[in-house]
């Protein structure tokens, strides 16, 4: 940190702390059991992209795990904006975390008190710029996405081990993202991004019931592509569909839209980011900047 730089402030349950002093209890069930929910968002030009939709998903995730968020939705929206302002961040990344709160050892959430609300605002570059220009290579992980009947991927919970195990497989193959299949062997999503294909000019992506997180960037891209006149279909996809696609790209709040040019060592299309991917990237850029 240079002399002029001030430490980042982190919001925890109503107060701002210097990054170094932003701490919660080691008895918090968020740490002990991954018991909690979160959101990752971006702000562009001082405005959080689709904040309302993120809060809606956060409340839905919390409801699914019987977690009561101890602050109203408008108050949390204000806290997010205030934390960004306190850190002078107009274009950045926001991590919103609600933990079950500290309690006794043992799973019982009734033996915890005070869910903690954490807001971290920072800058993020998920993938190097080169990948946005030339595309990413990914591999299929053997770790399948959580079975929706066991733990719905629609819940954005603090337990990300399923995704982390797949991510490690990707990294071990020299890829920074990995494709995950669902319990039926269909394409679900990547470890931290949703997936799209382009085939014969149509834009395709797995439906929610493929067992995926309903990405907010995914929603925005579907909407944007339809408005631009592309045919968009949410449909079950197999690895075969991926291999024979003309184009492939991933979406996420942190990643935005990133082209994929190789999957399981097979070139997608001609091995370069395709025209529809590029068009959608440009449109997304205009939408957000």
Q: Active-site positions?
A: 156
Site for ligand PMP in 74-133 (CB under 6 A): none
- Cβ at position 214, least distance to ligand PMP in Å: 8
CB of 18 to ligand PMP, least distance (A): 27
d(CA 188, CA 282): 25
Contact with ligand PMP (CB under 6 A) among 103, 148, 252, 273: 252
In the complex with ligand PMP, which residue's Cβ is closer, 112 or 140? 140
Burial pattern 192-219, b for ≥16 Cβ within 10 A else e, equals bbbbbbbbeeebbbbeeebbbbebbbbe
- CA trace torsion 101, 55, 96, 160 (10° rounding): 80
Q: Say how far apart CA 218 and CA 215 lie, in whole Å.
A: 5
Q: In this complex, which beta carbon is closest to ligand PMP, that of residue 91 or of residue 114?
A: 91
- CA angle in degrees (0–180, nearest 5) for 246-261-265: 105
Instruction: Please report which helix (H) or strand (E) contains residue 220, including its range.
Output: helix 216-227
Interface of this chain with ligand PMP, residues 193 to 212, rule: CB under 6 A: 193-194
Stretch that binds ligand PMP, among 24-32, 93-101, 230-238, 247-255 (CB under 6 A): 247-255
What residues from 165 to 194 belong to the interface with ligand PMP (CB under 6 A)?
A: 189, 192-194
40 binds ligand PMP (CB under 6 A): yes
Q: What are phi and psi of 52, to 5 degrees?
A: -60, -40
Q: Is the CB of residue 143 less than 8 Å from the CB of residue 166?
A: yes
Would you say 32 or 213 has its CB closer to ligand PMP?
A: 213
Distance in Å, CB of 47 to ligand PMP, minimum: 16
The residues, any chain, with a CB within 8 Å of residue 265's CB and separated by 6 or more, are 139
Residue among 250, 198, 185, 189 nearest 228 (CA): 198
For ligand PMP, which is the closer residue by CB, 182 or 253?
Answer: 253
Tokens encoding 76: 């949390």
Total of residues contacting ligand PMP (CB under 6 A): 15
Nearer to ligand PMP, 16 or 287 (CB): 287
Q: How far is the CB of 284 from ligand PMP (least distance, A)?
A: 11
Other residues' Cβ atoms within 10 Å of the Cβ of residue 11: 23
Minimum CB distance to ligand PMP, residue 46 (Å): 20
Tokens read off for 157? 């919970």
Q: Give the per-residue contact string, 135-164, with ligand PMP (x = CB under 6 A; - = no).
A: ----------------------------x-
Q: Bridge partners of 140?
A: 179
Least separation in angstroms between residue 70's CB and ligand PMP is 23
Kindly report the number of other CB atoms within 10 A of residue 282's CB atom: 11
Q: Which is nearer to ligand PMP, 101 or 252 (CB)?
A: 252
Chain positions contacting ligand PMP, by CB under 6 A: 40, 163, 189, 192-194, 213, 215-218, 251-254
């Amino acid at each position: 940190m240079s002399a002029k730089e001030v430490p980042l402030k982190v919001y925890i349950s109503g107060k701002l702390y210097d990054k170094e002093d932003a701490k919660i209890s080691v008895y918090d069930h968020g740490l002990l059991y991954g018991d909690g929910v979160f959101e990752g968002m971006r702000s562009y030009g001082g405005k959080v992209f689709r904040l309302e939709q993120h809060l809606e998903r956060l409340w839905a995730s919390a409801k699914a795990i019987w977690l009561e968020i101890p602050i109203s939705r408008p108050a949390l929206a204000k806290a997010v904006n205030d934390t960004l302002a306190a850190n002078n961040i107009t274009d950045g990344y926001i991590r919103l975390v609600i933990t079950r709160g500290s309690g006794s050892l043992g799973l019982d959430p009734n033996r915890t008190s005070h869910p903690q609300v954490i807001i971290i605002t920072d800058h993020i570059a998920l993938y190097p710029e080169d990948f946005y220009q030339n595309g990413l290579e990914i591999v299929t992980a053997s770790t399948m996405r959580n079975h929706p009947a066991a733990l719905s991927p629609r819940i954005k919970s603090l337990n990300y081990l399923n995704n982390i195990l797949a991510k490690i497989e990707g990294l071990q193959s020299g890829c920074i993202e990995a494709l995950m299949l669902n319990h039926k062997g269909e394409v679900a999503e990547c470890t931290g991004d949703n997936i799209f294909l382009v085939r014969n000019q149509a834009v395709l992506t797995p439906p929610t019931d493929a067992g995926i997180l309903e990405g907010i960037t995914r929603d925005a891209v579907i909407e944007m592509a339809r408005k631009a006149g592309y045919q968009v279909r949410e449909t079950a996809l197999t690895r075969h569909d991926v291999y024979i696609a003309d184009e492939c790209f991933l979406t996420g709040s942190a990643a935005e839209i990133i082209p994929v040019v190789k999957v399981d060592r097979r070139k997608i299309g001609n091995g370069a980011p395709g025209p529809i991917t590029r068009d959608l990237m440009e449109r997304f850029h205009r939408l957000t900047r």
